[in-house]
């Protein structure tokens, strides 16, 4: 479907002025500090901001084109939306909430099966409950199912997990990842939690003060050393890995990625593919191979480039490991002391690897 | 039973008037309350104040202006004559119109407050679920505003039953046509028929108390749910 949007909205001192294109599949994450306009931008896409000016084109239909006076109201856009606080209807039970949008979707347009969705999100025991009786996690699952059952062409999720504690989050995240794989439904997802970004995103749109600062593939955008101020401590790379073997004695798994291998504590998982994330601050550099050190993952690398970090004491080093990119954050002092320059051969010592 | 035929006629007329007033006000007042709860325009504040006027104005003042406006020399009187409806003062229709104006704030205020408390988010959620604005009004807004609707219905009905000043000014005291309970009670007291007055007054007291008690219980249940 591919969606292209150019949106402008002035509200008091805040000014949204964003242009972006979304891929026609996968999960796009809108990321940025609070107040950067993520929710406003999503509401523009949904057609809930009546004062927004600009253009939204989905495939060959225009949802909005202010220059021609076109504005398709929200209920005719064919989107699904999950609000931050679920917004279930308190006068209906779970079944009634699920049926609300389903009944208003013409049978011919229904691509998503009612029973399948109930099973997928484990809602069968909740159907007769009223929203106030549900926990936060259950409410969000109902809200996600309710939106899905309208068979939307685009699913918008506004920080669906923000109001939940870590345990509830872990309960819903797998559902979301599973949904994306099973239903092949493009999603736009707002969050400022880095673990959700790195786990779910395929594509990243960075917003700051109402403007799009960068957009692109997750790994490429996340590791752009010219954007350190946004990610700051969270600046990282994402590697797609495959489990090669397991050391049953030490309980370690050997994960292969393009250009090298990593050893990580073995955890049970489905399939062999696994996304891992390595923070720039968890990578240190050495000029020679150390074996008298507790760090497991030491990889030979070539320095590609050096750029400033958000704190003047630090620098960011982009490393090439057999074709994969790795970022290391070290101090300026160490840079000079070790004499690291573009082209240097170094050893990257990876203190920790997060399995996603 | 010490109530005479004219007492029963007054009771019947009162309840007919109150039922019609309540039904018509809910029908016309709901969209008006909705508009007042959402409009940012300065003119809506003016209308909001006008709608609330009967709450603070002596009923006789309202009745007097209505009498003048609806009279044969008044603009509304000329209109009703031109429309072939005749003159409204001292008729049941005139009384109904006056009752509706007098009880308007009792319909508008609970509804407007309910609509404001509901806010926009449930309506936006409905829009993302393919519901048109009219659909949303009936399937989301009105069910959520149910406590407000109940309060508006009960208060409008009870208030219409209890009105006196406006009735006297615009309706007069015509048996079977405009003579309602409160006027009938007044007549009894004037004629020193205290027994009948007691029956009517006691009945009104009991009715009003029961209605308000019922409302309290309903609202308490609404909060508990």
Two tokens, residue B166: 């406006």
Residue to mutate among B123, B125, B126, with most A CBs inside 10 A, is B125
3-state secondary structure of A13: coil
Q: How confident is the model at residue A229 (pLDDT cuts 50, 70, 90)?
A: low
Give the ipTM of the model, two decimals please: 0.80
Report residue A295 CA to chain centroid gap. 29
Record: contact A83-B129, CB cut-off 8 A: no
Element (H, E) at A279: strand A273-279
pLDDT at residue A213 above 90? no
**C-alpha dist (Å) from residue A291 to A300, A321, A353:** 13, 19, 19
**Using one digit for the tens of pLDDT, what is the confidence trace for A71-92?**
999 999 999 999 988 899 999 9
pLDDT at A12: 85
A78 φ/ψ sector (left φ>0, alpha ψ -120 to 50, else beta): left
Record: contact B130-A101, CB cut-off 8 A: yes
**Using one digit for the tens of pLDDT, what is the confidence trace for B21-57?**
999 999 999 999 999 999 989 999 999 999 999 989 9
pLDDT at B114: 95
Cα(A232)–Cα(A19) distance, rounded to whole angstroms? 24
State how far residue B37 is from chain A, nearest Cα, in angstroms: 18
pLDDT at residue B224 above 50? no
A223 close to A325: Cβ distance less than 8 angstroms: yes
* Total structural domains within chain B: 1
* CATH value at residue B65: 1.10.3720.10
Nearest to A138 by CA among A149, A150, A127, A151: A127
**C-alpha dist (Å) from residue B18 to A236, B15, B50, B188:** 72, 5, 22, 22
Q: How big is chain B by its Cα radius of gyration, in Å?
A: 20
**C-alpha dist (Å) from residue B143 to A255, B24, B59, B185:** 56, 19, 34, 39
Cα(A117)–Cα(A103) distance, rounded to whole angstroms? 15
The reported pTM is 0.80
Record: contact A101-B129, CB cut-off 8 A: yes
Record: contact B131-A89, CB cut-off 8 A: no
pLDDT at residue A33 above 50? yes
pLDDT at residue A316 above 70? yes
Cα(A299)–Cα(A303) distance, rounded to whole angstroms? 12
| Residue A301, phi then psi, degrees to nearest 5 | -145, 160
Mean pLDDT (chain A, rounded): 88
Domain range for residue B168? 5-224
Residues 6+ apart with CB under 8 A from B206: none
Q: How confident is the model at residue B225 (pLDDT cuts 50, 70, 90)?
A: very low
Q: What is the mean pLDDT of residues B175-196?
A: 88
pLDDT at A230: 66
Q: How confident is the model at residue A290 (pLDDT cuts 50, 70, 90)?
A: confident
**Using one digit for the tens of pLDDT, what is the confidence trace for B166-177?**
888 888 888 888
Q: How confident is the model at residue A226 (pLDDT cuts 50, 70, 90)?
A: confident
Contacts of B129 in chain A (CB under 8 A): 75, 100-101, 104, 146-147, 150
């Amino acid at each position: 479907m591919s969606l292209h949007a150019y949106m402008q909205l002035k509200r008091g001192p805040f000014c949204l002025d964003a242009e972006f294109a979304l891929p026609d599949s996968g999960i796009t994450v809108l990321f940025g500090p609070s107040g950067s306009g993520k929710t406003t931008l999503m509401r523009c896409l949904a057609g809930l901001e009546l004062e927004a000016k600009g253009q939204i084109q989905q495939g060959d239909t225009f949802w909005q084109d202010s220059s021609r006076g076109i504005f398709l109201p929200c209920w005719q856009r064919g989107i699904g939306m999950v609000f931050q606080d679920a917004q279930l209807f308190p006068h209906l039970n779970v079944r009634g909430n699920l049926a609300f949008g389903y009944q208003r979707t013409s049978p011919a347009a229904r691509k998503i099966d009612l029973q399948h969705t109930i099973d997928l999100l484990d809602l069968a025991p909740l159907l007769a409950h009223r929203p106030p009786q549900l926990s936060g996690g259950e409410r969000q699952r109902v809200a996600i199912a309710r939106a899905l059952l309208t068979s939307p062409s685009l699913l918008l999720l506004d920080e669906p997990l923000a109001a939940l504690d870590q345990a509830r989050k872990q309960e819903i995240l797998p559902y979301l990842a599973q949904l994306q794989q099973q239903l092949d439904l493009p999603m736009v997802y707002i969050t400022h939690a880095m673990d959700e970004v790195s786990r779910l995103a395929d594509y990243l749109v960075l917003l700051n003060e109402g403007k799009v600062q960068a957009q692109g593939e997750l790994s490429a955008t996340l590791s752009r050393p010219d954007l350190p101020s946004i990610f700051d401590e969270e600046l990282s790379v994402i590697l797609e890995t495959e489990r090669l073997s397991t050391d049953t004695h030490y309980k370690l798994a050997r994960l292969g990625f393009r250009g090298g291998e990593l050893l990580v504590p073995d955890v049970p998982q489905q399939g062999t593919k696994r996304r891992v994330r390595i923070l720039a601050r968890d990578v240190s550099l050495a000029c020679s191979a150390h074996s008298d050190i507790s760090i497991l993952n030491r990889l030979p690398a070539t320095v590609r480039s050096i750029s400033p970090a958000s704190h003047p004491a630090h620098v960011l080093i982009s490393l090439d490991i057999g074709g994969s990119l790795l970022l290391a954050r070290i101090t300026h002092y160490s840079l000079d002391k070790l004499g690291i320059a573009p082209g240097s051969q170094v050893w990257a010592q990876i203190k920790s690897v997060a399995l996603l | 039973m010490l109530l005479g035929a004219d007492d029963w006629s007054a009771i019947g007329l009162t309840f007919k008037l109150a039922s019609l007033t309540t039904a018509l006000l809910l029908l016309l007042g709901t969209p008006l309350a909705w508009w007042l709860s959402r409009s940012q325009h300065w003119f809506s504040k003016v209308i909001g104040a006008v709608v609330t006027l009967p709450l603070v104005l002596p009923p006789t003042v309202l009745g007097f202006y209505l009498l003048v406006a609806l009279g044969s020399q008044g603009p509304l009187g000329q209109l009703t004559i031109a429309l072939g409806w005749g003159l409204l003062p001292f008729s049941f229709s005139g009384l109904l119109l006056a009752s509706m104006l007098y009880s308007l704030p009792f319909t508008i205020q609970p509804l407007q407050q309910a609509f404001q408390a509901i806010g926009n988010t449930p309506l936006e959620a409905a829009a993302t679920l393919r519901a048109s604005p009219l659909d949303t009004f009936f399937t989301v807004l009105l069910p959520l505003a149910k406590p407000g609707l109940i309060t508006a219905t009960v208060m409008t009905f009870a208030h219409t039953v209890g009105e006196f000043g406006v009735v006297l000014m615009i309706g007069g005291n015509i048996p079977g046509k405009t003579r309602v309970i409160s006027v009938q009670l007044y007549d009894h007291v004037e004629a020193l028929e205290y027994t009948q007055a007691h029956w009517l007054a006691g009945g009104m007291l009991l009715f009003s108390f029961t209605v308000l008690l019922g409302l309290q219980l309903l609202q308490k249940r609404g909060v508990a749910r």
